[in-house]
Every structure is written in C-alpha cells, then in structure tokens.
Structure 1
Amino acid sequence: MFAFIAAPRSFLFPSLSRRSAGMPQLGSFDDDLLAVAAWQRIALAALPALTLAVFAVAYAQGCYLALPLVMLMHFVFTVAYLHDVAHGSAGLDARATHWVLFIVSVLVLQSGHAFRYTHLHHHAHCLEDDDLEGAPARGGLLCALLIGPLYLPRLWRESWRKIRAQRDRRWMAAELASALALALLALWATRWSKGPLVYAGMAWIGGWLYPLATAYLPHYKPGSKPLEQARTMRGAIVPALFMNLTYHLEHHLYPQVPSMNLRRLSHRLDPHFAARGLRPTQVV
C-alpha cells in the first residue's frame, strides 16, 4: 500500500562505516570499550522481563495511564538488548544467541532472527536502495508514520526471501508462529482477564513506531558524507533513558561495542568528530 522511498539516482547516499568515514580502528582506543561486567550483562538481559512484570502489576492494580510509559520502556530495553545480541556483543555463544533472539523477540510479537538479518544488512548497506530497515530515513516524517503497520511485515518477508541458512529460517518460522500463538492465547484469555490482550495490542501497535524511532530519527536528514548518515545525541538524561541508543552514529561506526559502553566511546570519538567538523546534537 505504501512504498518505501528510494534515494534519487542523482543523489546516492555514501556508505557509512568506520573505514569509509576515515575513523581509527577500535584497537587504537583503550580495550575497555568491549568489556562489560557479568552483572551488567545479567541486568540488561533481565530488563525486558522486569518491565513485562511491571506491566502486569500496573494492569492488575488499575494503573492504566501508566501502561504506555511502561510499554515504551519495555520496547527500549528489548531493542537495546536485541541490538547487542544481534551484533554478538552480549557475551552469548551461538546456541544461546538463537534462544535469546527467539524468546526476547516473541515477547513483543516479533522475529529476532528476521531483525538480526535486516539489521546487519542495514549496517552493511546503510541507506542504499535495498536497505529496507533504513528506508524510512529517505522519506519524510509523514511517510515514516504511514508505513508503520506494514514496516515489520515487509522486513519479515524480506528476511524470509533472503535468509539461506535453513536453521535461521526454522527459527524465524518458529518465532512468527509463536508470536501468533501468543496473540491468540491472549484473545482466549479474555474470559479471565483482558490484560494479556491489552499487552498484545500495545506490542503490535508499538511496532508501528519502528520506522520513526529506529530509522527516520536516528538517520534524520542524511547528508552527502559518511558521517552525515546517522545522528548522535549527547546528554546526561535522554541517552540514559534510551539505553544509549541515541549514540546511533557511534553504533554504526563501531557496532561491536556493547550498548552500555557507547557513551564512553562517544567521549573517545569527540576529538575525531571535531576534526571533521561534526557537532553532536545536545539534549538534556
């Protein structure tokens, strides 16, 4: 119904990577950027389940006005953790990675393996014609909002078409089938409580905001240079509330750095950004 907008042939966005941007190798910085304490990894992994429990308690106590805020934080924690898992920076082996992608994504009625494929493709082909994840950044705000309901289904379809590994295809099929089963279970459970259905509905509708939150805003008005393809927002409160996902440029340059260390990475990159005339956006 709504087509993703491709870049005009007269203006092709340059590739965004550490090498194309002329940035130093990660090894030239201190090696602490890849180090995360065990308790920090456990805490990050527990946050999606914790906010899910808070949602259940808030609904049971009749705190309905708090549910959108709780759901927002649930999505933030889930996306932040899935980012680390998808990039292999969550400290998990291959078997655990498959299971975590499955469990965490199904809880928000999505496919973790589809996310990993389209997200890694987005990093390798940022804002190119076949970058469906980043496509909303090539259009306007209205486009990013209108394509919301179709965004994730199109990413799932693209992943199913392009993923060749049979194991990953089986995981993806299991994720989508499980998400559908959970939605049907929530509908069936309304005879006892409407809470699960409210959660499922908010999770599904929340996915409509992905084009705005994960593509349009992080890549707002991409320019003609590699470092102008993503944005970075600096501050003490907003980045912390969004689990450092506001350091999007830093994440694209060094995707192997865990999200918990992106703030520290940003400080190391400040002199390099300044030398290239890049001014980060300052927020609270």
Structure 2
Amino acid sequence: MKPRVGDLALHIARISLCATGVALASRIDSAALAAAAGGALFFAAFALMHDVAHGALRLPRRANEIALTLSAAVMLMSGHALRLMHLRHHARPLAPDDIEGAPARLPLLRALLGAPLAAVALRAEALRAAGPSGRRHQLAEAALNLASLALLLASRQPALLAVAATAAALQLTMAVWAAYIPHNAPAWMLAAARRLAFTRSPIALSLGYHERHHRIPGLPCSRLAVPSPHRR
C-alpha cells in the first residue's frame, strides 16, 4: 500500500506552524505565547504519534519507527512506550491490564488527582512489558527526553521554560484528557466536537469519533469524520 502522503503532509504542516509559534514566542520572549504555542505543538505531535503508532500513514517500517520516536520526543515522551500501551488498550479496552484506559474507570475527581501517578505507572509498565529491543528503544528515548528537558531548562528563557512546563502539565494530566474524557464524554461534548470536524482538528476528530477510531484504528485521525473512507 502506498504511504498516505496527504495525511503526513497535514501533520507536518500543523507541527511546523506550531513550532513557528514557539520560535516567535522565544524571539519576543513571551511566556504566554510560548505556553499556547507549546500546547498546540504538543497536541500536533500527539496526533502524528498516534497515527504512526497505528501505522495509519502507511510509512515504510524504518521511517515509521523514526517518526514514532521524533513525534513523541516533541512531547518529551517515549514513542515506543506510548505505542505499546496504546495498542494494549485497543486490544483489551478498559480491561484490568489496560493501564492507559484505567483512569476512564474512575470518577473524574479521582482520575484528575491520580493523573500524575497514572503517567508514571504508564511509563513504568511499558518498560516492564517491553522485550529487549523495545526496552532499549524506550531507554534511548528517555535519555533523549531528559537531554531535551535539560536544554530547555538550561536556556533560562521564560518562553522555553513555559514550553517545558506546558509539556510537563499535559503529560501529568494525560489520564484525564486522553483517557477519561474520550470514554466518558457527555452527548453535548460529542456533538460539539463533531460540529467542529470540518476544521480537521485532531482534538475534535479524536473526541467526536472515538468509537469509530476503535473500530477502524488504521484510519488516520483526519479521516475519521469521512462517512466512507477512501481506501487506496
């Protein structure tokens, strides 16, 4: 099957736009703009990582692995750890061993308060469950994450510190926005997300069509709202 070049180009364009926002914020030394652009960049990278984790872009294997590592590195995370836990979630949604989906089984307040520990548990379980090759990938990605974080902190620039803080905050609340809300979203929220599908926002699409994603995980996020996906 041919790579889905259009979907990849959309991801690259979105990430490039957000990265430009971060660069501009750094240039004018605006922490507020950096936090906003950094948050947008995090979600743009997450969308790419998610499609790559499912092989939805049909990239060659080596290119897919590189894209997995680099997209997660933008979020200061391990792509191989995220993929391992996410594919387990798809195989056994909300089962006892579904660490990623566990917060969705809790009341909202407990999911929110326990989100930081859930983030640590997810990474620890991914490392434990990986084979030798996967563990090496995760450890290398962890080293890359720490080096990137050290560089951001060493800059002492308010804008870059804001980017690091935003990435940390989104990681530590992922149990809520990536697990609890998609599986417990009220009807009005789903309806609002679907009305925004025309923007091709990965947030709106992944929320409004979460059940469809579980049925067709190999479909790129940008195509979730299309009634009859084009198969090439």
Same fold (TM over 0.5): yes
Aligned partner of 2:172: which letter? W
Match of 1:118 in 2: 85
> Rg larger in 1 or in 2?
1
**Which of the residues 142, 145, 166 maps onto 1:202?**
166
Aligned partner of 1:136: which letter? P
Scaled by the length of structure 1, the TM-score of the pair is 0.71
Runs of 5+ in structure 2 lacking a partner?
Answer: none
**Which stretch of structure 1 is more off in the superposition, 112-121 or 243-252?**
243-252
Mapping for residues 89-104 of structure 1, pairs under 5 Å: 89-104=56-71
Runs of 5+ in structure 1 lacking a partner?
Answer: 1-33, 223-230, 270-284
**Which of the residues 235, 239, 259 maps onto 2:195?**
235
Match of 2:46 in 1: 79
- Structure with the larger helix share: 2
**Which stretch of structure 1 is more off in the superposition, 146-155 or 203-212?**
146-155
Cα displacement (A) at 1:189: 2.1
Scaled by the length of structure 2, the TM-score of the pair is 0.86
Aligned partner of 1:141: which letter? L
CA separation in 2, counterparts of 1:55 and 1:152? 25
Identity of aligned residues (%): 32
Aligned partner of 2:161: which letter? L
Q: Deviations over 1:84-129 (max 9, x none)?
A: 1000111211111221111111121100000000000000010011
CA contact (8 A) 1:58 1:64 kept: yes
Q: Closer, same or farther in 2 for the Cα pair 1:244/1:170, shift >3 Å? A: same
CA separation in 2, counterparts of 1:238 and 1:71? 23
The alignment covers a number of residue pairs equal to 223
CA contact (8 A) 1:243 1:260 kept: no
Aligned partner of 2:56: which letter? S
**Which stretch of structure 1 is more off in the superposition, 85-94 or 180-189?**
180-189
CA separation in 2, counterparts of 1:40 and 1:103? 17
Cα displacement (A) at 1:35: 8.3
3-state SS of 2:205 partner: coil
Match of 1:57 in 2: 24
CA RMSD of aligned residues (A): 2.5
